[in-house]
Amino acid sequence: MGQLPPHLELQRSRVSCNKDAPIHTESIQYSGAYASMGIDNSSRLDRFSNNFRVEVVRLNEDDMEFDMIGIDAAIANSFRRILIAELPKMAIEKVLIANNTSIIQDEVLAHRLGLVPIQNDQPNEKNTIVFKLHVQCKRGSPRITVKSDALKWLPNGSELVKETRNATSDSSSKPETYTYFCCSQETIPEFVKNPIIPKYPDIIIAKLGPGQEIELEAYAVKGIRKTHAKWSPVATAWYRMLPEVVLLEDIEDDLAEELKSKCPVNLFDIEDLGKGRRATVARPRACTLCRECIRGDDWEKRVALHRVKDHFIFTIESTGALPPEVLFTEAVKILEDTNA
């Protein structure tokens, strides 16, 4: 593959952010786009494999940031969309309310419960997770706040007994409840060491006054965000293109000072040349594209703002069910499977 002339290469690989509007925002995907110049724009898998890189910037339990380099926006966006809308997670879906004398209505309470993130490494459609919540505020005692740690996991399934219609049913058999668990979930190897609990113990669910009581059972099932936001495994996931700031000419002395003070994120530094000062680009990643630096007379001729089209700064914030790096791997697997 030959080389494109510099001005076309700039159009192909960078978004130019001018004073009025960004230009060359589209990515050139068509394989024959540069055929007349004898340049092959088609992507060979080996070429992609050689160029693609991932660099992790930050990684902890809840969120991560990494750079994806050498991939088209179409694919990166698919990953983002899958992370947000198609990754399955467990969330409370059905709530059986046995008693609720608090001021919060049943349906509002059920909705609040649905949004509580549950710590569960194994989203599994085979088993429902059952929680019990039973809190009472005694008469004469002060008001209490019900927090998410009041949700207790029931590994043996529901404890609420179903009312059977025929009274002649066999009294010796086990009373019929709302779930049919053949064995306790505590015996499932994944749950032996880490029992299922809400991810955060201090989410306020309701407040009870003296004499009020809530008794309910909540059933968590597997779902995806397309159905309801409570099944979202990520708080959010987003990417931005890498900013690139180019100084088109040497900016010296007073102009350098002016440039440094123009930038609200303090992107520029000034280096001392001995007999003068010159502005340098120190922290291009911090650029928010506010375009302050190209505002005013002639500044557009001195500074150029670009974004690198195939360099994505990807951020994933997990809600806690799965660590972010696992989420991304799962997302890629989903895209892989839809094509298989």
Partner 1 sequence: MEHGSFTDNSAATFSLTDEDHTIANAVRFTLNQDPRVTFCGYSIPHPSEARVNIRVQTTGDPAREVLKDACQNLMLMCRHVRSTFDKAVEDFKASNAVKAMKIDSQDSSGDDSEESE
Contact 81/334 with Cβ under 8 angstroms? Answer: no
Shortest distance in whole angstroms from residue 27 CB to partner 1: 8
Shortest distance in whole angstroms from residue 280 CB to partner 1: 28
Distances from the Cα of 5 to the Cα of 10, 12, 24, 34, 37, angstroms: 9, 11, 16, 11, 10
The tokens for 191 are 């749950």
Instruction: By CB under 8 A, tell whether 4 contacts partner 1.
Output: no
Q: Which class for 104: exposed (0-12), middle (13-18), buried (19 or more C-beta within 10 A)?
A: middle
Q: Could you give the CA distance from residue 269 to residue 239 in angstroms, rounded to a whole number? A: 27
Among 1, 9, 19, 29, binds partner 1 (CB under 8 A): 29
Residue that has been written with the tokens 């668990």 in this structure: 181
Q: Could you give the CA distance from residue 236 to residue 225 in angstroms, rounded to a whole number? A: 12
Q: Could you give the CA distance from residue 52 to residue 302 in angstroms, rounded to a whole number? A: 32
Instruction: By CB under 8 A, tell whether 2 contacts partner 1.
Output: no
Cβ distance to partner 1 smaller for residue 82 or 304: 82
Q: Could you give the CA distance from residue 280 to residue 291 in angstroms, rounded to a whole number? A: 17
The amino acid at residue 203 is I
Interface mask toward partner 1 for 68-107; x: CB under 8 A: x--xx-xx-xxx-xx--xx---------------------
The tokens for 40 are 């092959």
Instruction: By CB under 8 A, tell whether 25 contacts partner 1.
Output: no
Shortest distance in whole angstroms from residue 212 CB to partner 1: 42
Start-to-end C-alpha separation, the chain: 31
Cβ distance to partner 1 smaller for residue 54 or 183: 54
The tokens for 66 are 């990494």
Q: Could you give the CA distance from residue 83 to residue 275 in angstroms, rounded to a whole number? A: 54
Shortest distance in whole angstroms from residue 306 CB to partner 1: 22
Contact 242/313 with Cβ under 8 angstroms? Answer: yes
Q: Could you give the CA distance from residue 153 to residue 250 in angstroms, rounded to a whole number? A: 66
Instruction: By CB under 8 A, tell whether 213 contacts partner 1.
Output: no
Instruction: By CB under 8 A, tell whether 113 contacts partner 1.
Output: no
Cβ distance to partner 1 smaller for residue 72 or 292: 72
Handedness of CA 161, 163, 164, 169 (dihedral sign): positive
Q: How many residues in the shown chain lie near partner 1 by CB under 8 A? A: 40
Cβ distance to partner 1 smaller for residue 81 or 138: 81
Cβ distance to partner 1 smaller for residue 67 or 159: 67
Instruction: By CB under 8 A, tell whether 61 contacts partner 1.
Output: no
Instruction: By CB under 8 A, tell whether 332 contacts partner 1.
Output: yes
Cβ distance to partner 1 smaller for residue 12 or 207: 12
Shortest distance in whole angstroms from residue 93 CB to partner 1: 21
Among 3, 168, 172, 339, binds partner 1 (CB under 8 A): 339
The tokens for 253 are 């002395």
Residue that has been written with the tokens 């960078």 in this structure: 14
Instruction: By CB under 8 A, tell whether 39 contacts partner 1.
Output: no
Shortest distance in whole angstroms from residue 39 CB to partner 1: 13
Among 14, 15, 17, 66, binds partner 1 (CB under 8 A): 66
- Chain contacts with partner 1 (rule: CB under 8 A): 29-32, 40-43, 45, 48-49, 52-56, 59, 66, 68, 71-72, 74-75, 77-79, 81-82, 85-86, 325, 328-329, 332-333, 335-336, 338-340
